[in-house]
Amino acid sequence: MLDLPLKILIVEDNIADAELISYHIRKIISKPSIQISTLYDETINVIEMFRPDIILSDYQLNSFNGLDVLQYVSQSLLPIPIIFITGTVNNTELAPYTIIEEGNGIILKEDMSNLQKKLYPFFQHTSNLNLIKKNKIETEHAEFIDLNNLDVDIPKIIEDIKRAMDNGNN
């Protein structure tokens, strides 16, 4: 089991499938935060507000398809991998799009009994990316000076600046 707090968006219009996917996620990840979306506008809103670490999406949904989600994520330049969990038999249309970005993939719904085994490498990859991002952010913040801890007399500095400006005008 991976002991990490991954944020996962499931885009699925079949609630039974979404619940089954959620069940399998909880068998792999100890602290998942899961959102389920069924409509395109709702999906976009969840992506913007929730900022998932990974998206698990059906391909053929009622009013849109998984490529619409992939296209939105790609155009938004968000580094979110998308895994299609689909019952779509003809994946020739889907396959070229899933290999564009590292971390994207396809899992057939007929393999749901092996879902944990199939999802684990994607979650491991995502957790590694998150660790790299976290370390990069910590390194960048370490280079900044914490102004709250500086012992500075702001009113004196302002007076010194005013005096210097007055002397420059004379």
61-79: average pLDDT: 89
Residue type, 44: I
The larger pLDDT score, comparing residue 68 to residue 170, is at 68
Examine the pLDDT at 91 and tell me if it is beyond 60: no
100-155 confidence digits (pLDDT tens): 455 578 888 887 888 888 888 888 888 776 666 666 555 665 555 555 555 666 67
Choice between 170 and 110, residue whose per-residue pLDDT is larger: 110
Domains and CATH numbers, the chain: 7-142 (3.40.50.2300)
User: What sign results for the dihedral spanned by CA atoms 92, 98, 102, 103?
Assistant: negative
Lowest mean pLDDT among 20-24, 36-40, 43-47, 125-129: 125-129
Q: Which range, 11-25, 76-90, 104-118, is most confident?
A: 11-25
| pTM reported for the whole predicted model | 0.72
Q: Is the pLDDT of residue 96 over 60?
A: no
